[in-house]
Structure 1
């Protein structure tokens, strides 16, 4: 079974890859997510396991790729509209 720390590490690495391999510090990522660096570190190390993150990932895994893209695009729009 995948752990939430695995999910955060995969996503962190994916965001770095999107930035053409430019490293993103945990402090930068935490600030971007609106959490403390300590909280983000705990998520990546598995010391803290936000249950919502795991539930969201489990729901996404129930969908096929097209549906996942649809949901992510909608989320992206909602997040963009709230800024």
Structure 2
């Protein structure tokens, strides 16, 4: 699996969460604190952030419940 596949899966999942409402590249980039061009390059596979690959591989080693717990902990850190 390529990094762009991962970004596309996650982007599509967020759209599904919003009842199919499209999420623009700009809105997604803004929510991530990066430029739209950077996000677009990731989504199209023109740039491959190494950290994203490592994080996804680590998440892939966890079961569903462990992923949920980890993401919730990460979200709590974001709130601080």
TM range (shorter): over 0.9
Show structure 2 runs of 5+ residues with no match: none
Structure-1-length-normalised TM-score: 0.92
**Structure 1 segments of 4 or more deviating over 3 A?**
none
2:42 is aligned with 1:43: yes
Corresponding residue SS for 1:22: coil
d(CA) in 2 for partners of 1:43, 1:49:
6
CA deviation after TM superposition for structure 1 residue 78, in Å: 1.0
Corresponding residue of 2:16? 17
1:74 alignment counterpart: 73
RMSD over aligned CA atoms reads: 0.8
**Deviation readout 1:33-70 (Å, 9 max, x if unpaired):** 11111100000000000000010000011111111111
TM-score (norm 2): 0.95
